[in-house]
């Protein structure tokens, strides 16, 4: 045991290193623990006994706030009634009902849902459905998948192959063959300090045409993009970019998949960001906010034409060899349907839209702080870029993150030297003002 570890945990406590924490500097975190032990509404309680404003909705997921009584009660009731039922061959009413509810909420003819447990499984599922769809239509030479630089589509081999975060790919070998990447849409020289869609960069969608020209449009199965790239620091799309991607996909019969794991369920003020941008994708991956983070849940919305292509041949045959033991788990269905009740009854997506200008005003007010190189936001999602310390990149982001927790009682996120914010949709205007006032204090301390 190292000394810092002993100081916090004592010699006789169970070895905390038994837990290998995901996407975390494990040793530094054990030396300076920030464990969360309770939550209510827009606040966590830390192990230090202090209330911490949740500036990032858990991990982009607790959109309805924490421990919402209706969600807690619904899940508890479900647990007493039916703990588990296989969705292979049997199914249970909760899964059918919740799928129908999501289909009614989704734009256009996204009328079918394949449930997963996470966003990573949702993106891999969508990619597999795209490949299998073309096969089912007798168009099996469409095997190429197109992603984008700076994208995050989870951590499965499919997701990291089409994803564009270098660190997530480097250690894992060759990944999927036949993948191409669009350029990312971050143009700091032209779009710095932008609230809402970026003014410049629509022409970056033409990268897809270049990939078509190089590889042949009839070899490409699907394009997957996040309508707003979240995990690489909130990159709102250039105005018109998604519509242009749609046009090029249509010209070449390429499927367009939106990864809305972050952007769905109110983060951008709508059930799905596809509605906000007025673009109809062929599939939408979702997770996180669908259950307000209470029970792991993800899935893919699928257009009727795709579903129908599978529902052919003898009806005793399995149409898609894919699924998870916990697809459509009763507790997840209960959490999802209760979360939808809360979103609807409390008008939380509309509330997100109303809070958007308030959020934008407060986060943008920090743009002149020393060391801030860019601020971006859209919906209730925003990022502040800090100039990295050239000798130790990422340490400024981490320092700000630690100070936000310990000195300002804030739970936020950092990715490299970017601070990221995504407060719950139940936040008040006063809480948003306080959040960014405290962040301002952190930034001032950082620049000393």
Stretch (H or E) spanning 182: strand 179-182
CB of 102 to ligand PLP, least distance (A): 17
CB of 80 to ligand PLP, least distance (A): 27
Per-position x/- string for 74-113, each x denoting binding to ligand PLP as judged by CB under 6 A, each - no binding? ----------------------------------------
Tell me the number of residues near ligand PLP by CB under 6 A: 15
Closer to ligand PLP by CB, 87 or 117: give it.
117
Closer to ligand PLP by CB, 98 or 310: give it.
98
Question: Which of 78, 87, 111, 123 contacts ligand PLP by CB under 6 A?
Answer: 123
> Token pair 């809402």 is at which residue?
196
Partner residues linked to 198 by β-bridges: 238
Closer to ligand PLP by CB, 120 or 327: give it.
120
Question: Which of 74, 120, 337, 403 contacts ligand PLP by CB under 6 A?
Answer: 120
* Residue 204 main-chain phi, psi, to 5 deg: -65, -20
Q: Which of these, 296, 257, 306, lies nearest to 280 by C-alpha position?
A: 257
**Count of residues making up the chain:** 448
Per-position x/- string for 262-291, each x denoting binding to ligand PLP as judged by CB under 6 A, each - no binding? x------------------------x----
- Residue 218, classified by CB atoms within 10 Å of its CB into exposed (0-12), middle (13-18) or buried (19+), is middle
Cα 442 to chain centroid, rounded: 26
DSSP string, 210-275: HHHHHH-GGGEEEEEE-SSB-TTT-BPPBTTHHHHHHHHHHHTT-EEEEE-TTTTTTTTSSSSHHH
Q: Which stretch binds ligand PLP (CB under 6 A): 47-55, 115-123, 326-334, 346-354?
A: 115-123
Q: Which of these, 308, 298, 307, lies nearest to 120 by C-alpha position?
A: 298
Q: Which stretch binds ligand PLP (CB under 6 A): 37-45, 166-174, 259-267, 430-438?
A: 259-267
CB of 341 to ligand PLP, least distance (A): 22
Please check whether residue 225 is in contact with residue 151, taking contact to mean a CB–CB distance below 8 angstroms. yes
Nearest residue to ligand PLP, by Cβ distance, number only:
119
Question: Which of 46, 94, 147, 154 contacts ligand PLP by CB under 6 A?
Answer: 154
Q: Which of residues 198-227 bind ligand PLP (CB under 6 A)?
A: 226
Question: Which of 119, 233, 238, 269 contacts ligand PLP by CB under 6 A?
Answer: 119
Q: Which stretch binds ligand PLP (CB under 6 A): 130-138, 150-158, 187-195, 428-436?
A: 150-158
Q: Which of these, 219, 235, 217, lies nearest to 227 by C-alpha position?
A: 235
Question: Which of 153, 181, 267, 396 contacts ligand PLP by CB under 6 A?
Answer: 153
Q: Which of residues 14-53 bind ligand PLP (CB under 6 A)?
A: none
Stretch (H or E) spanning 114: strand 112-116
Q: Where are the beta strands (DSSP E) in 267-408?
A: 283-286, 298-302, 372-378, 381-386
* 118 part of the interface to ligand PLP, by CB under 6 A: yes
Q: Which stretch binds ligand PLP (CB under 6 A): 117-125, 139-147, 206-214, 386-394?
A: 117-125
> CA 61 to CA 290: how far, in whole Å?
8
Question: Which of 197, 259, 385, 431 contacts ligand PLP by CB under 6 A?
Answer: 259
CB of 262 to ligand PLP, least distance (A): 4
Please check whether residue 409 is in contact with residue 416, taking contact to mean a CB–CB distance below 8 angstroms. no
Q: 93-105 and 330-345 helices cross at what angle (nearest 10)?
A: 40
Residues binding ligand PLP (CB under 6 A): 118-120, 123, 152-154, 226, 230-231, 259, 261-262, 287, 298
């Amino acid at each position: 045991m190292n000394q810092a570890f002993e100081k916090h945990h004592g010699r006789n406590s169970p070895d905390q290193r038994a837990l290998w924490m995901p996407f975390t500097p494990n040793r530094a975190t054990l030396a300076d623990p920030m464990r969360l032990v309770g939550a209510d509404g827009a606040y966590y309680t830390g192990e230090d006994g202090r209330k911490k404003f949740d500036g990032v909705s858990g991990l982009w997921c607790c959109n309805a706030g924490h421990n919402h009584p209706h969600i807690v009660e619904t899940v508890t009731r479900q647990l007493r009634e039916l703990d588990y039922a296989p969705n292979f061959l049997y199914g249970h009413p909760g899964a059918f009902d919740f799928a129908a509810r999501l289909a009614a909420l989704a734009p256009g003819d996204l009328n079918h849902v394949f449930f997963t447990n996470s966003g990573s499984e949702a993106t891999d599922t969508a990619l597999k459905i795209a490949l299998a769809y073309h096969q089912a239509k007798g168009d099996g030479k469409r095997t190429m998948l197109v992603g984008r630089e700076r994208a995050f589509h989870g951590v499965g081999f499919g997701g990291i192959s089409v994803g564009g975060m270098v660190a997530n790919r480097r250690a894992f070998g060759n990944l999927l063959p036949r993948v191409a990447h669009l350029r990312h849409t971050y143009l700091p020289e032209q779009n710095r300090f932008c609230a809402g869609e970026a003014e410049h960069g629509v022409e970056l969608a033409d990268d897809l045409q270049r990939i078509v020209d190089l590889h042949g449009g009839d070899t490409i199965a699907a394009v997957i993009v996040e309508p707003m790239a979240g995990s690489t620091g909130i990159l709102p799309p250039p105005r018109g970019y998604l519509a242009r991607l749609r046009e090029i996909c249509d010209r070449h019969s390429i499927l367009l998949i939106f990864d809305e794991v972050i952007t769905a369920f109110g983060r951008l003020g709508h059930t799905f960001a596809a509605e906000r941008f007025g673009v109809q994708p062929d599939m939408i991956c979702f997770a996180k906010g669908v259950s307000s983070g209470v029970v792991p849940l993800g899935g893919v919305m699928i257009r009727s034409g795709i579903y129908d292509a599978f529902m052919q041949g003898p009806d005793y045959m399995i149409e898609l060899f894919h699924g998870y033991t916990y697809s459509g788990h009763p507790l997840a269905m209960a959490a999802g349907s209760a979360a939808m009740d809360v979103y609807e009854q409390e008008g939380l997506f509309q509330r997100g839209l109303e809070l958007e200008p308030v959020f934008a005003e407060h986060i943008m007010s920090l743009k002149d702080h020393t060391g801030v190189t860019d601020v971006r936001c859209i919906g209730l999602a925003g990022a502040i870029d800090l100039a990295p310390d050239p000798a130790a990149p990422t340490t400024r982001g981490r320092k700000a993150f630690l100070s936000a927790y310990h000195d300002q009682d804030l739970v936020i996120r950092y990715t490299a030297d970017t601070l990221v914010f995504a407060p719950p949709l139940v936040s008040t205007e006063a809480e948003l003002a306080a959040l960014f006032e405290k962040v301002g204090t952190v930034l001032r301390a950082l620049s000393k």
